[in-house]
Structure 1
Amino acid sequence: MKRLSSYRRHKAAAPLLLVVALLGIGTTFNVASATIKAAPTTFDRSAAIDEGKQIFLKGCSSCHGLNAEGGAIAPSLIGVGAASVDFQVGTGRMPMADMSTQAARKEPVYNAEQTAALVAYVASLAPGPAIPTDAQLNYERDGNTAEGGELFRNNCAMCHNFAGQGGALTEGKYAPTLMGVDPKYIYEALITGPQSMPVFSDKTITPAEKLSLIKWIKSAEAEPNLGGATMGRIGPVTEGLLIWILGLGLLIAVAVWLTTKAR
C-alpha cells in the first residue's frame, strides 16, 4: 500500500492518468462511431435491394421470371453478377421490347440510382462478376497500347473489325462498334460475354491485358482521320465499292455524253 501511495504522489502520475483516460475515451468513441456507421451502410444496401426488386418485378419479371429464374424467352439472371446487369441496363440494351432481336445500345431506360438498385438486387441472388472499380480501370496508367493492339487483333478484330468499328455476324447478328463506349462497359463486356460475345476470363485475358485492350481502343477512337472520309473504317470493301460506283458511273456518263455529241 505504501508503494502504491508513493506512486500516486509521483509527479508523473497525474499526466499519465490523464493520457490513459484520453486514450480510453478515444477508443470508446471510435468503436461507437464505427458501429453507428456500419448500421446505415447495411440498411442502405438492404433498401437498395428492396428497391431493385420492385423495379425488377415491374420491368423485368415478365421475361426473366418473378424470381429471376428465367423463362422461355429470357435467361436466368441468378449468378450473372453485378457487372452483367450494369452493362446491359447501363447501356440501354435492357429492358428490350422484342427478345427475338439483338439488343442494341440506346439511351438507358433507368437512371443511375435505379440501375444501381437493380444491380444490387440481382447481385444479392448469387455471386457473380463484380463491377470494376475506378482503381481497376486506370488504363492510362496501367495499360500498354502496343500490347492492347496485338490482343485486339488476335481476339476481337474478327468480329469488331480491325479498327473496332463493328461488323456483321451470322444469322442477322452483328458486333457493335467500340467507339465511344465507356471503359467500364468494355471491361464488363469482357468479363460477362454479352449475347454472342465469349467470356474472356482473367485466365484468358488478365486484368492488366484488359486495360491494355481498353487503352488501344481509346487510342483508335482518338486517332485523326488523316486520309479524309473514313467510310466507316471497315476496310477495302467500302472503298472498292465507292470506286466502282463512282468510277463506272463516271465512265457511263462520259460514254453517254460522247454518244450524244457524235449524233
Structure 2
Amino acid sequence: MPSSRRPSRRRGRRSPLATVVLLALGLVFTGSSYALFTATSAGDAATAASQESIDHGQKLFAANCATCHGMNLEGTEAGPTLLGVGAASVDFQVGTGRMPLANTGPQAPEKPVMFTEEDIQAMADYVASVSPGPGIPEEEYLQTTGDATRGAELFRINCAMCHNVAGAGGALTQGKYAPALHGTSPKHIYEAMTTGPQNMPVFNDANLTPEDKRDIITALKYQEEAPSPGGYELGSLGPVAEGLFAWVFGLGAIVALTVWITARSN
C-alpha cells in the first residue's frame, strides 16, 4: 500500500528570505562604497583648494547667490540646488556672466562678468568643498593641438543639430536658443560639455573622453580662425541666410536695374 505522506521538500532549496537578504547586503555594500568614494573625492577637492579661498568663496556665495540657491546650496523655489554641480559649473556660469541672473526668462543670457578671476575661483572652490562634482578642466585638454578633422566629425554628430555645423548657434523651442560658440574660451567650451548648462545635455567622459573634447575645441578654434574663401560668410548660418541675401539684394538689384533702364528708354 503506497504511503499517504506527502513527499518532503527537496533539500538544498533556497529560501525566498535568503534572496531578500542577499539583495539587501548588495545594496548596503554598493551604497557604502559610493559614500566612501564621494567622501574621498570631496576630501581631495577640499585639500586642493586653500581654506582661505573656500572661506572667501562662502562669503561671496552668501552675498550674491544664496538668495536663490540657498545658504547650504540646497536650492529654493527661485533657483536649483547646486549640490553635485562641481567647480566647473560655477566657473562656467559665473565666468560667462550668466550668473548672477539679472532677470527670469527662458534661459540665462551671456553678459559682462561681475567678478574677478580670483573671486570666481573662490566660489568654485567653496561649492566643490561642499559637494563633489565635475572639476575645472586641466590645461592639457584646453590646447588647440588635437585632431581638428576628428573634432569636426564629433561636433557634427553631437552638437551641430543645435549649434549649427559652423558653431554659429541656432534657435530652439519656447524662446530658448543654442548660443554661438565663436569667441568662447576653450575652458568654457569644455565646461559646457561636462556640466550641460541650460538645455544642453551632459557629455561626461563616457560619452566624450577628455581627448574627444580637446579635438572638438581644436576644430572650433580652427574654424573660427580660418579665412572664408567665398567672401563674407553671412554669419555661417547656411543656405537659408545665403538664399535670403540673394533674393533680397540680388533680385532687388535686378528690379532696380530694370526700372532704371525703362526710365531711361522713356
TM bin (shorter chain): 0.7 to 0.9
Partner of 1:67: 72
CA positional deviation for 1:260: 4.1
Alpha-carbon RMSD across the aligned residues, in angstroms, is 1.9
TM-score (norm 2): 0.78
> Structure 1 residues 138 and 251, CA, compared in 2 at 3 Å: closer, same or farther?
closer
Q: Deviations over 1:116-153 (max 9, x none)?
A: 1110111111110011121343441xx21111011011
> Structure 1 residues 221 and 185, CA, compared in 2 at 3 Å: closer, same or farther?
same
The reply on whether 1:152 has 2:155 as its aligned counterpart is yes
The whole-number CA distance in structure 1 between the counterparts of 2:88 and 2:218 is 20
CA positional deviation for 1:44: 7.1
Partner of 2:240: 237
The whole-number CA distance in structure 2 between the counterparts of 1:255 and 1:121 is 69
Q: Deviations over 1:25-56 (max 9, x none)?
A: xxxxxxxxxxxxxxxx9697222111111111
Partner of 1:210: 213
Partner of 1:188: 191
The whole-number CA distance in structure 2 between the counterparts of 1:238 and 1:164 is 15
Q: Deviations over 1:141-190 (max 9, x none)?
A: xx211110110110111111111111111111111111121111111111
The whole-number CA distance in structure 2 between the counterparts of 1:131 and 1:65 is 23
The whole-number CA distance in structure 2 between the counterparts of 1:163 and 1:152 is 9
* Conserved 8 A contact 1:73-1:99: no
The whole-number CA distance in structure 1 between the counterparts of 2:198 and 2:47 is 34
The whole-number CA distance in structure 1 between the counterparts of 2:187 and 2:54 is 22
Q: How does 1:242-253 map to 2 (within 5 A)?
A: 242-253=245-256
Kindly name which structure, 1 or 2, has the bigger radius of gyration based on alpha carbons: 1
Report the more deviating stretch, 61-70 or 233-242. Answer: 61-70
1:171 pairs, out of 174, 178, 181, with 174
The reply on whether 1:90 has 2:58 as its aligned counterpart is no
Report the more deviating stretch, 235-244 or 91-100. Answer: 91-100
Q: Deviations over 1:46-79 (max 9, x none)?
A: 2211111111111111211222211223111111
CA positional deviation for 1:248: 2.8
Aligned length: 221
Unpaired runs of at least 5, structure 2: 1-45
Partner of 2:60: 55
CA positional deviation for 1:215: 0.8
* Conserved 8 A contact 1:187-1:210: yes
* Conserved 8 A contact 2:142-2:217: no
2:50 pairs, out of 33, 45, 48, with 45
Deviating runs (4+, > 6 A) in structure 1? 41-44
The whole-number CA distance in structure 1 between the counterparts of 2:258 and 2:100 is 55
The whole-number CA distance in structure 2 between the counterparts of 1:228 and 1:163 is 16
1:162 pairs, out of 160, 165, 172, with 165
Unpaired runs of at least 5, structure 1: 1-40
